Chain A
Amino acid sequence: MRQRWPVMLFALVMAAIPFVPGMPPFWIVLLDNIGLSALVAMGLVLLTGVGGLTSFGQAAFCGFGAYTTAVLTTAYGLSPWLTLPLSLVVSGLFAVALGLVTVRLSGHYLPLGTLAWGLGLFYLFSKLEFLGRNDGISRIPPLQIGSLKMIDPDTIYFAIWTAVVLCAVLTMNLLDSRTGRAIRALRRGHVAAEAFGIHPPRAKLLVFIYAAVLAGLSGWLYAHFERAVNPTPFGVQPGIEYLFVAVIGGAGYVWGGVLGAAIVVILKEVLQGYLPLLFHGEGQLETIVFGMMLVLLLQLAPGGVWPWLIRRLPLKPDHKRIDPSLVLPPRERPVAASGALLRIEHARKQFGGVVAVNDVSFGVDAREIVALIGPNGAGKSTTFNLITGVLSASDGAISVLGRTLSGASPQDITKLGVSRTFQHVKLVTEMTVLENVAIGAHLRGRSSALASLLRLDRGDEAKLLAEAARQIDRVGLAAQAHMLAGSLSLGQQRIVEIARALCADPVLLLLDEPAAGLRHLEKQRLAALLRELRDGGMSVLLVEHDMGFVMNLADRVIVLDFGTKIAEGTPEAIKTNPDVIRAYLGSVA
């Protein structure tokens, strides 16, 4: 609980504020508004800042929450407490429906898609008869505990801020877990996440629903705070504003959402309060100044105010404690149906008219280090992508442990025990080395997102982290385990990728240029590690350009040139093979 004291302190301070003598009621109203906005922003932090999915439509989810309770409490006389779960469920269900359509969208289509359905829903709210059209629904009953009616801003204050603190804690729990790492891995693209068994569309849908439920909660609170709803606060303009809040606060940080809400709400209030005094109430001055200040703030702190603030505070990020005695049970291995571990038969991959891999056949046996070499453009990385399911072969068959992989997804192939690194390092730079490596063990963890939210995952989580720490130790980066992955040298990042791959407990390790960017001693250490892994029963297939490294390490070498296998044999045989020499050095004219 030791990381929890700032949160508790914050909760205490917030709880004490209404009791401060002489506290202007107006400030309490402001704080209520900040809380309502912070709830939505927190969802956006997870969705946009962490998951990389920009949504302009969050205000519409507030609308679902607010209208659900408004209709049910006024037309059917339900108790507001009864409508709370219903509001959340309605927001969640609409999130599932919209999310299934939207989260598949890639790149910039996604924010624009949300903009479009955000607008559509706004017009729907304002046209539907049973939602009161443009006038909305009024006379919503207040929240009530026993005889205490939460009519005043300073009583509902407690409901709002309890929700904010609770959701902040839940969100932080979620981020600091197996599911959280999967979500955070999404930003670096799909390929790396899929290679460790994460299903990006599923993870995206999860955050989408989570953000929508938080927005629904905010909407439910809003309906009972204002005691009336109309379409205006659920349109696109407020939706854009929530996104501001998250971006200004610092889109990757839970507390950035709260801070951003405070900045935006107070700024707007100040502008609305004082500008008319200064300029004698001409037009929409506050929007003008608000817009300008927004642009200015972004120019000064494009990453948001929260990280900017944190950098200036003498806070040390605390390291995760690791209990080295915990052991993650080894993965269940599929039993080999035939002798060879990996078998590639007449594999062919065509991109339009280019044949990247042409009729290549080879195999990797158990306890063997095989090197795949060849000049640039020889088809080595494409072969890797065929094996790991990133690309599917145009023709031919690839099998692992006797199972043919035609049409298998990268996740399925990982489950068979094939684990890889990437030629272009794909680490989550803003996560620590430990967390990055733990992604490798994703499939070996069991805890669900719900368990993570409620911190029921700690036993599982501690084992995953212990395993990650063990693999980091194994590759010799123990001293860097708690550093951000982005702060390491490129060579070290490659080694981190190896540790991540090892975390998946593979039978076959695919390494794409592992020695690039390493210094001489580091290369020797890497070679020693790979030999040790082989002696421990693992097989390694590596692509490498460093001939000294390959020739000293590999048991067998396969040479590709222009997509075709031109030689295969022991390093000694390859060194003297005339075809290989021709491919690398050109023929004597």
Chain B
Amino acid sequence: MNTTIGLFLLQDGITNGAIYALLGLALVLVFAVTRVILIPQGEFVTYGALTYATLASGQVPGTARLAVAMGVVAFGLDLFMRRRSLRPALVGWSLALNVLLPVAILALTLSFADKQTPIAIDIVLSLLIVGTIGLYLYRIAFAPIAHTSVLVLLIAAVGCHLALQGIGLVFFGAEGQRGPPLSNAAFTIDPLRFTGQSLAVYAVTLALIAGLWLLFSFTLYGKALRATAVNRLGARLVGIRTALSGQIAFLLAAVIGAISGILIVPITTLYYDTGFLIGLKGFVAAIIGGLVSYPLTAIAALLVGCVESFSSFYASNFKEVIVFALIIPVLLLRSLATPAADEEKD
């Protein structure tokens, strides 16, 4: 191997790694706040990417309708759970959030279909659609069992992954899709060629990491989310609405997932089930980061991306084996460094 190939692989690895970093961050966020290991994160990626690609081709993505359907179910659940204390204000708020919002988004989507719309509008619509899906997903699937063990939540997450992946196939078909790039700019610093798209990947990743860090360190909402993560009951006692924290975490995760999807769909063809594997690599990063640390997760994600690109060059057959085996020494080091002092209560 010469330096040029090495640099190419490095560049490729960093671009992929940045995406894994985003997903890893979302996973850490959701786990920290809700204890859910978010297996459906990959579906947020595919939904985001394919919704964007569908919108860009002038069609109405099925996900917009899915958001409405999920919103209606969430509204029904809200009514059912609070059937003993239905106050008009609560019903109105729930109706607005769960029904009117997705209906409005659907209406917007319909009105923009068949028209040549700027990419920006497609992106905003995709984020809105996938974001609301994330919001309702928590309300429907996880809020009712928020008190149960990590294991039960995990299994529920797997159930969601299966359902969402199946729905993805129905909406987007088995064919892969590509979306238009965010920018066609490109320049060369010999020997490497930088495209606007890959620069966008770096910029967005950095911005999101910084944003999350600011959110969690300096805002009341961020602190409330962290408090929920540390102690649910304690957080409730001081007046934090833990269900809301969960929804916010899922909303953020869905939006981050969708952003990653939109960032990669111009680079690689995405299929309805591609997200799962991408999500899992985000996982590897998140695990290396210990499911708690944002900067560590980001660095680990870059490492995962580079290991992947180099092993695809040297031993392409065993690329996945190598990436997933990477986790084991790290896990070992981690659990040796922090001896098992965890006293599980569930």
Contact = CB atoms under 8 A, between A and B. Distances in A.
Interface of A: 48, 52, 54, 101-102, 104-109, 111-113, 115-117, 119-120, 123-124, 127, 187-191, 200, 240, 243-244, 247-248, 251, 282-295, 298-299, 302, 426
Interface residues on B, range: 35 or more
Contacts of A109: 287, 331, 334-335
Given A116-B324, A116-B328, A190-B340, A284 B170 contact: yes
Nearest to B171: A283
Contact of A119 (B37, B162, B320, B334): B320
Given A115-B283, A295-B156, A302-B148, 7 more contacts: A112-B283, A113-B287, A113-B327, A120-B320, A188-B344, A189-B343, A244-B155
Contacts of A302: 145, 148, 152
Interface in B114-166: 140-141, 144-145, 148, 150-152, 154-156, 158-166
A104 B320 contact: no
B159 A294 contact: yes
Contacts of B141: 295
B166 A291 contact: yes
B325 A117 contact: yes
Contact of A243 (B155, B164, B170, B339): B155
- Interface centre among B37, B140, B155, B341, by most chain A C-beta atoms within 10 angstroms, is B155
> Chain A binding site: helix, strand, loop or mixed by DSSP?
helix
Contact of A291 (B159, B287, B342): B159
A290 B154 CA distance: 16
Contacts of B140: 295
Nearest to A124: B321
A112 B325 CA distance: 12
Contacts of B325: 116-117, 120
Contact of B332 (A104, A111, A124): A104
Contacts of A426: 343
14 contacts: A104-B335, A105-B332, A109-B334, A109-B335, A113-B327, A116-B284, A117-B328, A127-B318, A284-B170, A289-B163, A290-B162, A292-B159, A292-B163, A299-B145
B284 A247 contact: no
A187 B163 CA distance: 31
B10 to A, nearest CB: 24
B167 interface: yes
B291 to A, nearest CB: 6
Contact of A106 (B144, B165, B166, B338): B338
Contacts of A282: 170
Contacts of A117: 324-325, 327-328
B324 A123 contact: yes
B7 interface: no
Contacts of A120: 320-321, 324-325
Contacts of A244: 155, 158-159
B267 interface: no
A526 B156 CA distance: 47
A153 to B, nearest CB: 27
Contacts of A101: 328, 331-332
Nearest to A390: B341
A187 B166 contact: no
B342 A189 contact: yes
Contacts of B160: 291, 295
B344 A123 contact: no
A299 B156 CA distance: 9
A292 B165 CA distance: 12
In order of increasing CB-CB distance, the 3 nearest A-B pairs are A291-B163, A291-B162, A294-B159
A287 B166 contact: yes
Contact of A283 (B154, B166, B324): B166
A582 B162 CA distance: 65
B220 interface: no
